[in-house]
Amino acid sequence: MMSTSTKELVIYIILLQAIIRPTTAGSYDSVSRLYTHIDDNNMASIPNDIPIQAEVVDLSRNAITTCQSFPDLPAVNKIVLKDNFLVEFPNLMAVRTNLTYVDLERNRITSISRELLSALTNLEVLLLSFNELASFPDVPMPKLYRLYLSGNAPMRNLPVLSVLGQTVEELTVGHPNMDDISATALKAMPKLVYLNLYHGGQTRVPPVIETNPLIEGLLLPHNAIRRLPEDFFLRLKRLRLIEVNDNLLTTFPDPCHVNYWMVTIRFGLNPISCDKRLFPLKIALISQIVYGNVICVSPADLTGRDLDSVSFEELRETFDEVGLEDCALWCRHTMDCDGWAYIYNTKGLNNGTCGIASWGKPSVSGVFNFDVFYLNK
């Protein structure tokens, strides 16, 4: 029979176990060579039980505050330390030989050692979004092509990375208080093909037309951009994706030279004036090439209407309001239109009717089909 003191001790141990959750051990998959130790803020340092054969180490969602020296694991090529409490860039010298991928997002990193960063000569991907960086060292990183720096609030300007920027192809940067990106900073990245300025505080489109003509993807959602340059699509011949939803755009650029079959456009949540310039955009919406909920804010009789519900006839009635003399104003020279949709001038034909030609996808025989929507009767 238990004594009173023994019973009290047993109850104490049970309560203690309920309050203090034991630390779980890391797991290792010998097939994928992935070591994982995700312990929901219960581990404060790099574990010492990582197998020597591990190639991927995931230590996300812990309470790691420092990494003075990562374990010597020669096979490691990917390290994930996101969602921790790191205040300095970790010392990864022991694994630098094969390391190609480092994810440090959502930590508290305020500075990066030039020595530690420049030692990672084989690094290809570096994710540092949502830290507290005020600057980024410009050091040689010959293989780095993807760099994420979004959400570093102290970083008001994108640094000019004249050395490091020579290899960067994908850049994500910005926060609501960030200044407009300078042409100088973009020129330092001649190979840039993907630029993401999500929630970046931008008031204008970055000068990529002049600085980065190879751009294929430009993501500018949740900014304060009021217009796209008229020659935007004409000069960015390689553009395949543009995202400008949730800005202050009131209209769409001249539809000439917009190859809607090649460019995906996300355009919703802008205060759009629904007039004659939106014919190609409407056709693209119908064809599900352009994505976004386009709500009209003018003219008065279309205010609040979704562009999907506005008929071509209703758009035609805006011609007089905007002073369109003839459809040739849309395309200075009809044959210069590279896009699949364009307005053309048919004066002298069909009793002077203007129409919109919507080119469809080629049939099996290779012949293109098109429909004509008559704007004036």
pLDDT in tens, 195-207: 999 888 889 999 9
Peptide bond into 299 cis (omega under 30): yes
The arithmetic mean of pLDDT across residues 235-249, rounded, is 88
What is the residue-averaged pLDDT of the chain? Answer: 76
Cα 106 to Cα 109: distance, rounded to the nearest angstrom? 9
Residue 370 counted as domain residue? yes
Residue 366 lies in a domain: yes
Looking at per-residue pLDDT, the higher value among 127 and 24 belongs to 127
> Lowest mean pLDDT: which of 42-46, 288-292, 311-315?
288-292
pLDDT confidence tier of residue 360, bands split at 50, 70 and 90: very low
User: Is residue 26, in this structure, part of any structural domain at all?
Assistant: no
Q: For the chain, how many structural domains are there in total? A: 1
pLDDT over threshold 90, residue 32: no
Rg (C-alpha) for the chain, rounded Å, is 28
Establish if 68 belongs to a structural domain. no
Query: How many other C-beta atoms can be found within 10 angstroms of the C-beta atom of residue 16?
Result: 9
21 band by pLDDT with thresholds 50, 70 and 90: very low
In the predicted model, is pLDDT for residue 369 greater than 80? no
Q: Best-predicted range by mean pLDDT among 113-122, 284-293, 328-337, 362-371?
A: 113-122
Pairing of strands 34-36, 296-298: unpaired
Question: Per-residue pLDDT tens for 261-294?
Answer: 567 888 888 888 887 667 666 666 655 556 667 7
Higher pLDDT, 375 or 24: 24
Residue 347 forms part of a structural domain: yes
With respect to residue 331, please indicate whether it lies within any of the assigned structural domains: yes
- In-domain check, residue 221: no
Q: Are 232 and 204 in contact (CB under 8 A)?
A: no
In whole angstroms, what is the distance from residue 151 CA to residue 177 CA?
Answer: 10
Q: Return d(Cα 310, Cα 308) in angstroms, integer.
A: 6
- The β-bridge partners of 264 are 241
Q: CA 122, CA 144: separation in Å to the nearest integer?
A: 8
**CA end-to-end span of the chain:** 103
pLDDT grade for 260, boundaries at 50, 70 and 90 = low
Its domain, for residue 351, covers 327-374
In a domain, 333, yes or no: yes
pLDDT of amino acid 71: 95
